[in-house]
Amino acid sequence: MGKRVMDRDPVTGKETVFHWNEHDDNYAVEDRQDVTNIIKDATNKRNETDKHTRYGDGLNKVASIPMSMYHDWVKKGYTKDQKKMKELLNSPDLRKFRTREGKV
């Protein structure tokens, strides 16, 4: 099994890797992203609030979602479904990306 990095974006930490199997001519393309800095930043911002911190008027940032995840949500149509977006943003599985406490 071989692999080769085809593309790397230093800004987003996203890279595309081509994997191939020389024995049966199968291949796969993998997109992956280092989200360590996104999680650190979201955690720092979340620690500045608690669940009683009021939302201001206008737009309020509630999460920092990695672009690879966001693009997947766009493909699946989630970004056009407000109920689904609330479900995703309130999910315990995605808590590490939340930038403030409380529920959306």
Contact 32, 47 (CB under 8 A): no
- pLDDT tens-place values along the chain, 104 residues long: 788 999 988 887 788 999 998 888 899 998 888 899 999 999 999 998 877 777 776 678 899 999 889 989 999 999 999 999 999 999 999 999 999 988 88
Residue ranges of domains in the chain: 1-34, 35-104
First to last CA, the chain: 44
H or E element in which residue 54 lies: none
C-alpha to C-alpha distance for 20 and 18, rounded to whole angstroms? 7
Q: Which residue has the tokens 């500045």?
A: 48
Count of residues in the chain? 104
Q: What is the pTM of this model?
A: 0.72
Contact 104, 90 (CB under 8 A): yes
C-alpha to C-alpha distance for 98 and 62, rounded to whole angstroms? 6
